[in-house]
Every structure is written in C-alpha cells, then in structure tokens.
Chain A
Amino acid sequence: MKRQAFITGTGHAVPEAILTNADLEKMVDTSDEWITTRTGIKTRHITDSNTATSDLATTAAARAMEAAGWKPEDVQALFIATVTPDHAFPATACLVADRLGLSRVPAWDFAAGCSGFVYGLIQARAFVESGIFDRILVIGAECLTKITNWKDRASCVLFGDGAGAAAISSQGPGGLLGGYHWGSDGAISDLLVQAAGGSRNPATHETVEAGMHYIAMNGSETFKHAVRAMRESCLLALEMDGTDKSDVDLLISHQANYRIIDATARALELPPEKVYVNIDRYGNTSSASIPIALDEAMRRGIITPPKTVVLAAFGAGLTWAGIIVKWNG
C-alpha cells in the first residue's frame, strides 16, 4: 500500500503580553480605525526580552506531541520554519529538540518567509511517503517583533509573535496531507526584506544606525502579489488533489491581512463561516500563523471529520504554497 502522511496532533504557544491598537496609537501616528479597516488586526502578542523563538517553539511542539500521544523517543526528525531564529547558528531546531528530550535526531531550520509552515508540511509529506521517517515534528515559530521597526507605522502595526507545531505520522487517523502547490520568485525579493545581518550586509554600527536590521516592506506591491499567489496556490493544490472548490469546508490561510484572506475566500467562493480568521488577535506571525490557526480550529472542534481544509500562504522570497488536508470520517 502507498505510504501516506497524516497530521495527528497540533499545538501552539504565544507570549502572554498583548499590544493593542490603542497602545500603538501612543507609539506612532496611527489609529485603531485605520489598522482595523486596512488589516483586521486588533491585538498582537509580543515577547519580552527574555523570550526567544525556541521558547515558543518548544511549548508549541510539546503540545503537539501530547495531542498526538507521542513520547520523546517517538520523534524521528524535527524542523522549524523561521525567519527569526534564536541565532544564525546553531539552528533553533537543535535547541528545541534538546529541550524536548529528543534523542539525537536530525533537526534543522529553514526559511521560506511566511510560507514556511506549508513548505514544511510538503517536505514532511515527502519524507514520510518515501519511507525516510515515520514521525516528524514540523514547527513554524517567530519573534517578528524583535525585528520590527517601532517607528515605521506602515509595518509595526502588522506583526506579532508566536509558534505552532504539527505532528506528522505515517499512521492515521488524522489530516491526510494531499495535493499541494509551492513556488517562489526571487526577482521580487526586494519587496519584503531584512537587509542586514547576513553575508550581504554583515552587522556593523552603520547597518544598525541605518535601521537595516528591521523588516522593510513595500506594502501595496506585496499585497498585489499576495492576493494572486494565494489564489493560484489554492486552485492548483485543489487541482492536484482532484478536489473541487465547492467541496472545501475550511480555508486556513496565512494571517497577514484580513483583506488578503477575504480576497482568497472570494476566489474560492467560500462564505465567511468557512474561513478561519484569528488575525484580529495575533496579527501577522509569519510562519507561525497557519499552525496557530490550525491548532485553534482543532481544539475548538471546528475540524471534526469529515473535513476538507485548504492551507495557503505567501511571504518573503517571494514564496507561496498551498496544501489540501483531509480529515476523513
């Protein structure tokens, strides 16, 4: 029989502290009205100076393991999608694996911007179907507020911190990882970039003074590409899956902007009750947004089988990705 990959447990973690739009009104020239109508965001969770990406990732992963009924020795590999690792090296995944008590398994980070978690699921599917692993932890974890320019009102209102994780197994029952689509376009990489801190512009006094370690974004161009990339990712993933869009029960898209989520829902002709939205509470948490939303939907009983769920994302790169996950009855 053909090997298949299933999501058998999910978990998430966010830091306790909340930053509201009213708080932001005191920091930059903005308003709750502007932020709400342009993005749908009301609050976001932010880490304190003692908390890093690995801390959130460890909690999220432990919850996913618990949900899947896994002990540390069951996990055969762990990878983390992040653009805000604890360090450039060692990989955050190694730190998390150690804290979870995993026994010397392969652990690594990768970056695919906000598409990272869906990229991770597609990789996990390939590892499981090929027989390389039977049980993998896939994590999306970020501390975007650590690289946010709190003086740039066009971007600082958007971001939050958090982590989400999924346990992927060759044995169901669970959410079957099905048709997918993924891609990238480096020709428009300048739309969304952290310019310094890597080998192109190593950290110097000058790069810090010039604010080159912060997230820089061309919002309206990114918006256009996002809407088109999300639409294409969903439709091509559905096509590969052999599923009609009228059979979709739930869309969980990257939570970057309510207006992008809404445009994607319209492309799939989905009514609001079939679209999971939590951007109002978390803002954009990059690669963590989809696994946080997925875990909430699982725990709130929204994904009771049978359900066909579409996950779709886009992000820095630019990258985009979509995957169909089916919980069969």
Chain B
Amino acid sequence: MSLENRVTEIIVNKLGVRAEEVSAEANFQTDLGADSLDLVELMMDFEDSFKLKISDEDSSSLKSVGDVIKYLKAHGVEE
C-alpha cells in the first residue's frame, strides 16, 4: 500500500470520514471535523503505525493531510 493510502486509512478509521474527503489539502480541523483531542489521537496512530515520535511542537504544525505525508517522508518513512 502506498504511503498516501496508509495515511488515508488511518484518518478514515480515526475520524470516521470517507476516503474521498481525505485529499492532500484537507485540513484536519476545518475540513475533516477533528477537534484538538482527535488530533492528539491521530498523531498517536501515526506514531504507532510508522514507528516514529512526533513531538508536540511538530504536531501543531501538521494541519493538513499533505503536511503529514510530507513530514513522514522527511522523517524517512518509505513509500
């Protein structure tokens, strides 16, 4: 599965949105309906799935799906 698909699957499971809604531009809070604690849980799911640690500071800059994909690639997560 591509990195994009894996990220989409995690978001769909956590936020209960449809996969079509999870575009790169989609903002977690304003487009996908996440609140601050959904975001914390989402970051935990990324940490668990991709075996890395996302600091509080980094999390707060990850606002959209594209931000996360870019971040994961920059931190060595393979396609």
Q: Which residues of A, 211-252, contact B by the 8 Å Cβ criterion?
A: 220-221, 223-224, 227-228
Does any Cβ of A come within 8 Å of B21's Cβ? no
Does any Cβ of B come within 8 Å of A37's Cβ? yes
- B40: chain A residues within 8 A (beta carbon): 220, 223-224
- A228: chain B residues within 8 A (beta carbon): 44
Determine the distance from Cα of A38 to Cα of B41 in the docked complex, in whole angstroms.
13
Does any Cβ of A come within 8 Å of B36's Cβ? yes
Q: Which of B35, B43, B44 contacts A38 (CB 8 A)?
A: B35
Count how many pairs of residues, one from A and one from B, have CB atoms less than 8 Å apart in the complex. Answer: 20
Which residue from chain A places its CB closest to the CB of B37 in the assembled complex?
A259
Report whether over half of chain A's contact residues are helix, strand or loop; otherwise say mixed.
helix
- A221: chain B residues within 8 A (beta carbon): 56
**CB within 8 Å for A227 and B44 given contacts A220-B56, A221-B56:** yes
Does any Cβ of B come within 8 Å of A263's Cβ? yes
- A259: chain B residues within 8 A (beta carbon): 37, 41
Q: How far is the CB of B5 from chain A (nearest CB, A)?
A: 23
Q: In the complex, how many residues of chain B place their beta carbon closer than 8 angstroms to a beta carbon of chain A?
A: 8
Q: Which residues of B, 12-53, contact A by the 8 Å Cβ criterion?
A: 35-37, 40-41, 43-44
Q: How far is the CB of A187 from chain B (nearest CB, A)?
A: 14
- A227: chain B residues within 8 A (beta carbon): 41, 44
Determine the distance from Cα of A221 to Cα of B43 in the docked complex, in whole angstroms.
11
Which residue from chain B places its CB closest to the CB of A263 in the assembled complex?
B41
Determine the distance from Cα of A294 to Cα of B50 in the docked complex, in whole angstroms.
38
Q: How far is the CB of A173 from chain B (nearest CB, A)?
A: 40
Which residue from chain A places its CB closest to the CB of B38 in the assembled complex?
A259
Best-buried of A38, A220, A228, A263 by chain B (most CB within 10 Å): A220
Which residue from chain B places its CB closest to the CB of A218 in the assembled complex?
B56
- What would 20 A/B residue contacts be, using CB atoms closer than 8 Å? A37-B35, A38-B35, A38-B36, A38-B37, A220-B36, A220-B37, A220-B40, A220-B56, A221-B56, A223-B37, A223-B40, A224-B40, A224-B43, A224-B44, A227-B41, A227-B44, A228-B44, A259-B37, A259-B41, A263-B41
Known: A38-B36, A220-B56, A223-B40. 17 other contacts (CB 8 A): A37-B35, A38-B35, A38-B37, A220-B36, A220-B37, A220-B40, A221-B56, A223-B37, A224-B40, A224-B43, A224-B44, A227-B41, A227-B44, A228-B44, A259-B37, A259-B41, A263-B41
Q: Which 5 A-B residue pairings sit nearest by Cβ, starting from the closest?
A: A220-B40, A259-B37, A223-B40, A224-B44, A38-B37
